[in-house]
Chains A and B, each alone.
Chain A
């Protein structure tokens, strides 16, 4: 495959088969820095599988993934994260025994920590690092309006706040590429719009590239410059929101139904 200059992420021919079931087939992507890409599709279309392949939680059956020119196809998830790909999860995965602040610190500390000797001897440098981690994490929380909850148990937060906390935590890793798996799942309209605004702000402030898996169509249409539509593990359409909306294949397989769903949801929430 040819390599393009200036590409942040290059995925070619990516496939994953579970016992004969093609969860993802021939998935491909060229992503430029600063872009916000939306991936939509019905349940079971393979969206989360793409995320799991991309972050090393699943091994692809076939294909290649290059991130900033480096082949990451078979790297373990912790290495991929360290290279600068952060993610959130469809089902929230916070650290239950930790406070809100500790959850964020546990991500920040990857790049900023005292060695084992300084830690065991409680050297001043250890305390300075701990204090810096805490104050930077508080700053991160402040951006999302969560600073006053810093000392609370993470899982005691309301659902919407837990989702936001997961985004803060992923950001605290200092990633170049951020993968958001249904960041507004289970939120009402007002909360969703807050998250929409937030995603734009973090993109601009942190110079991030973002891939978004979402069911909330209005949100995706407003936020993303480019959208991929998956169905049965394959890309059935790709383009700007307008192009995708007009694509008869998309309307037939997914969009019509999803649009109705989201109208229903609006009616319920409104």
Chain B
């Protein structure tokens, strides 16, 4: 009866991947265009929020500037994939060696992630020495700097004008492969020596130091990995939306990611996923309500900004009543659930 532990270890991820593939396959085949778009947005948000959790949740370095890495990823990847004939029109001042480049999606996305990571490393070397609110304010400053650079670096970004013509490479499949990969990486790091270093440094910096944990190094590791994945999400988003401008990556987006993270629960990967689903679906529903609709004879006028108001209200409610978020830093125990299902089935078989 007893299975080898190695095989047993593989069951939960196998079940999850199979379930995810089934859902995505069904969406891909059956669902309409609108629903497919929502599934893609959820996937991208999962990457953004889960990777933000790596930094803000595990190490307690509460970054408000991660959208800056998303912007870097989006612009870097789009410059690389933009077809050559569009480059000549939209980005005529690009340096010669870039003019002729039109990369496939995957290498462009990887390079975009790496660039975001390098920037995170350079910024993090000094920022990770700060603590608490100082880090948050400094990362916010980073976001503003990225914004200013994007608006002024016409040669690469078209400045404040719309960057258009990005090929629509993002699909349900490539987005969700990255999303699954991100969730796995964040979860795995969390349940490893690296994750324990990060949480130790967050829980009690002095005690962590006196156990030999290099607080700065472990924060920097989380920050850089997180920036890489956020940069990847930026690339995916750019190739989904296909046209954007610097203001797509500013306070509204930053606030939206942080809301999902906090509502799901800092430090919990499953919390991140739940937060993303909840907020994305609710704000999509409300986006429709914003246009105004009829219930029987009752006509509701359009309520502009309803989804953002809801997000803000939810954010405040969670902070007041459940400050640790819906999951409170814990994880959903997939193994436990599977074991219970298995046990009840065996119970039925015996009866």
* A77: nearest chain-B partner, CB-CB: B209
Q: Which residues of A contact B196 (CB under 8 A)?
A: 98, 102, 105-106, 109
A246 in contact (CB, < 8 A)? no
A81 in contact (CB, < 8 A)? yes
Which residue from B9, B203, B212 sits with its C-beta under 8 Å from A173?
B212
Q: Which residues of B contact A120 (CB under 8 A)?
A: 185, 188-189
* A126: nearest chain-B partner, CB-CB: B192
Which residue from A94, A119, A169 sits with its C-beta under 8 Å from B188?
A119
Contact with B along A82-123 (1 / 0, CB 8 A): 100011010001111110001001110110011010011010
Listed residue (B192, B209, B212) with the most chain A CB atoms within 10 angstroms of its CB: B212
Q: Are A116 and B194 in contact (CB under 8 A)?
A: yes
A158 in contact (CB, < 8 A)? no
Q: How large is the interface on A (under 10, 10 to 19, 20 to 34, 35 or more residues)?
A: 35 or more
Q: Which residues of B contact A130 (CB under 8 A)?
A: 192
A209 in contact (CB, < 8 A)? no
Q: Are A78 and B209 in contact (CB under 8 A)?
A: yes
B199 in contact (CB, < 8 A)? yes
Q: Are A93 and B207 in contact (CB under 8 A)?
A: yes
Which residue from A55, A106, A126, A127 sits with its C-beta under 8 Å from B200?
A106
Q: Which residues of B contact A56 (CB under 8 A)?
A: 209
CB proximity of A102 to chain B, nearest CB, Å: 6
Q: Whole-angstrom distance between the alpha carbons of A120 and B186 in the complex?
A: 9
- Are A86 and B203 also in contact (CB < 8 A) when A119-B194, A127-B9 are? no
Contact with A along B179-213 (1 / 0, CB 8 A): 00000010011001110110110111011111111
Q: Which residues of A contact B197 (CB under 8 A)?
A: 106, 109
Listed residue (A56, A57, A93, A98) with the most chain B CB atoms within 10 angstroms of its CB: A93
* A102: nearest chain-B partner, CB-CB: B196
Q: Are B193 and A119 in contact (CB under 8 A)?
A: yes
Which residue from A93, A119, A129, A173 sits with its C-beta under 8 Å from B206?
A93
- Are A124 and B215 also in contact (CB < 8 A) when A93-B207, A95-B207, A105-B196 are? no
B346 in contact (CB, < 8 A)? no
A142 in contact (CB, < 8 A)? no
Q: Which residues of A contact B208 (CB under 8 A)?
A: 78, 95, 106
CB proximity of A159 to chain B, nearest CB, Å: 17
Q: Are B212 and A82 in contact (CB under 8 A)?
A: yes
Q: Which residues of A contact B193 (CB under 8 A)?
A: 109, 113-114, 119, 129, 133
Q: Whole-angstrom distance between the alpha carbons of A106 and B203 in the complex?
A: 12
Q: Which residues of B contact A78 (CB under 8 A)?
A: 208-210, 212-215
Contact with B along A47-71 (1 / 0, CB 8 A): 0000000011100000000000000
Listed residue (B189, B206, B210) with the most chain A CB atoms within 10 angstroms of its CB: B210
Q: Whole-angstrom distance between the alpha carbons of A107 and B193 in the complex?
A: 10
8 A-B interface contacts by CB (under 8 A): A76-B209, A78-B212, A78-B213, A95-B200, A97-B203, A102-B196, A116-B221, A119-B194
